[in-house]
Every structure is written in C-alpha cells, then in structure tokens.
Amino acid sequence: MQDHGELLSIILTIITASTPLLLAAIGELVVERSGVLNLGVEGMMAVGAVCGFGTALIFGPYVGIFAAIAAGVLLSLLFAFLTLSLVSNQVATGLALTLLGLGISGLIGVGYVGQPGAKLAHIYIPLLSDIPWLGPIFFGQDVLVYFSLALTAAVGYVLFRTKLGLVIRAVGDSHQSAHALGYGVIPVRYACVAFGGGCAGLAGGYLSMAYTPQWVENMTAGRGWIALALVVFASWLPKRVAIGAYLFGMVSILGLAVQTKGLGIPSQLLTSLPYIVTIVALVIISGNRALTRANTPACLGQPFVPDR
C-alpha cells in the first residue's frame, strides 16, 4: 500500500511539473505557426511568476493568474514592437527579452524571497475524486491543469479546423501571399505573439502559485528553453506538444524520485536529465528532415515589411 501511495504521489507530481511546460509550449507553437520565432519564453515566464506571486499575496491566486498573464503579454508586446514594427532581428531580440525578463523579475521579487505564497487550490469533484487511483489523477487537479489540456485541444481545433487557423498558418507559411490576399500579416503576428506571451506568463505564474508556491529568483530553471524545444520536438503539432510536455515532466520528476532511493547515482546527473533528453530529442528530430520540413512554417523567423 505504501508503494502504491508513493507511485500515486509521483504521478500527481509529474502532472504538476508538466503543466507549465505545456502552457508555455502551446503558446510558443501558435507564435511560431504565425512565422515568428520568440526565444524570450524564459524571460516572460520569470516575469509572470513574480507578478503572479506578488498579486496572489494581496488579492489571492485567481487574481494572480490574470496578473501573470498580463505580465507575459506586456513583455511579449515589447518583443512584437521591436521585431514586427521596427524589424529587428528576432533571435537577438528574443535572447535580449530573456535577459530582460530575468533581470526585471529578480528586481521585482527582492522583497518576496522567503515569503510563503498563496497556493492555487485543487478542485475536488464529489464522488469522482474518491475513486481509487483515477479519482485523484483525473478529478482532483487544480484549475490550470484542466485549462492547459482544454487550451491544447482548442489550439489544435482552431489551427486546423477554422478559418482563423488557416490565416495564421498562411501567414507563417507565406506572408507575401497572405498579404497579397488582403490579410494583415503584422496584426495577425501581433495577436499570436501576445497569445504566446500570455501563455508563457501563465506558465510562470503556475510555477510560483501551484508547483512551488513561493518566489525564488531564476525559479524557471530553463523551463522556457525546454518549452521552445518541445515545439520542435512536436513538429509544430498541438497533440504532440502535450505528449512531449508530459514526457519531459516525467523525466524530471523520476530523476528526483531516483535521488531519494540512494542508488549512488550523482544528483547532478539526475538533475540534468531533462536537458539531456531535450538535446537527444532535438538531435534525433533534426536527422529526420522529411518530418521537420512537413510542418515547419516556411517563413519562421523571417521579417516582413508590407509594401508601401
């Protein structure tokens, strides 16, 4: 029974660890589908984490959720202005955004270090939550776990079943053709970048209000980079993003679980497992050119200047 309880605890922790990866990656997928490469996910997550945490202390975690989203959106709009309006280099601007976000979050969060946070409550469904094993896993999660899965399904539906999704993919695959057909390439990309920023901010807020309800500088710990890798790992398909997020979440938590067993494996190696898996997955995927070419937005990272 003790082993069963420990296994259930590990599964629940995997779900919690996977949710911020899924939120950040699904937002970045929409951004890249529109033809924009935003490498500032880590910075937006950090700002979302500290703004969500600080707001949750005063107004509660549900208001903190909206503060985290707003922080991510504001930072992403700065990126959009620089890259879409001023046509700066997207890679360099994204890297600068990460550094800016980490710096701002550290500055804002100085007074929050060591303070206990307001934890996002779990939603327990009567009777269903009491079902052995299945109840806690499927009917006893916090609202953002359910929201992340619903958002993934919604993004998949919109991108591949609606006219809006067709426009987004058209802008990402051939912005000149989309512009010639009368679609506003820049407004569409602005909206997609803001959506991705909101998702990244929400992912950061989840870290500071649900995963570990506290504020610690650099608490994103490279998750933004893993989210970026997940988009490539998933070949820009929402369903695969969800699978990848839970796979990477499982790797990170199992590494921590193995440490508690005292097997003599260096803790540094176990801690680095998610990043090692990320590198290996990207190497394998990059070797399959047919797979990457099939779904990679043709205009990814390319600037667009509308005809005057």
Beta bridge partners of 84: none
Beta bridge partners of 122: 142
C-alpha to C-alpha distances, 96 to 40, 68, 102, 105, 140, nearest whole angstrom: 7, 20, 10, 14, 39
Provide the terminal-to-terminal Cα distance of the chain, rounded to the nearest Å. Answer: 71
What is the distance between the alpha carbons of residues 68 and 147, in angstroms, rounded to a whole number? 15
Domain of 44, CATH number, reads: 1.10.3470
Task: Write down the pLDDT at residue 271.
Answer: 73
Of 223, 270, 265, the C-alpha closest to 251 is 270
Q: How many helices (H) and strands (E) does the chain have?
A: 14, 0
Task: Write down the pLDDT at residue 49.
Answer: 97
Is residue 306 included in any domain, yes or no? no
Is residue 307 included in any domain, yes or no? no
Query: What 3-state DSSP class applies to 122?
Result: strand
What is the distance between the alpha carbons of residues 143 and 150, in angstroms, rounded to a whole number? 11
C-alpha to C-alpha distances, 118 to 67, 69, 109, 156, 306, nearest whole angstrom: 14, 17, 15, 32, 47
Task: Strands of the chain (E only): list them.
Answer: none
Q: How many domains does the chain have?
A: 1
DSSP annotation string for 141-205: -BHHHHHHHHHHHHHHHHHHHSHHHHHHHHHHH-HHHHHHTT--HHHHHHHHHHHHHHHHHHHHH
Is residue 163 included in any domain, yes or no? yes
| Model confidence pTM above 0.95 | no
What is the distance between the alpha carbons of residues 54 and 52, in angstroms, rounded to a whole number? 6
Task: Write down the pLDDT at residue 1.
Answer: 47
Neighbouring CB atoms inside 10 A of 7's CB total 12
Task: Write down the pLDDT at residue 262.
Answer: 66
Task: Write down the pLDDT at residue 61.
Answer: 93
Is residue 167 included in any domain, yes or no? yes
Q: For the chain (length 308 residues), average pLDDT per consecutive 10?
A: 71 93 98 97 97 95 96 98 96 97 95 88 83 85 95 97 96 94 95 98 96 91 92 91 91 76 68 77 71 81 84
DSSP letter for 110, please: G
Q: Which amino acid is at 225?
A: W
Task: Write down the pLDDT at residue 121.
Answer: 87
Is residue 143 included in any domain, yes or no? yes
Task: Show the domain range for 104.
Answer: 2-295
Is residue 61 included in any domain, yes or no? yes
Beta carbons of 172 and 35 less than 8 angstroms apart: yes
Beta carbons of 208 and 120 less than 8 angstroms apart: no
Is residue 30 included in any domain, yes or no? yes
What is the distance between the alpha carbons of residues 169 and 253, in angstroms, rounded to a whole number? 35
Residue owning tokens 């099939």 = 294
DSSP annotation string for 3-22: HHHHHHHHHHHHHHHHHHHH
C-alpha to C-alpha distances, 277 to 170, 235, 242, 247, nearest whole angstrom: 32, 16, 16, 10
- Rounded to 10 degrees, what is the CA torsion of 153, 156, 158, 159? 170
Is residue 302 included in any domain, yes or no? no
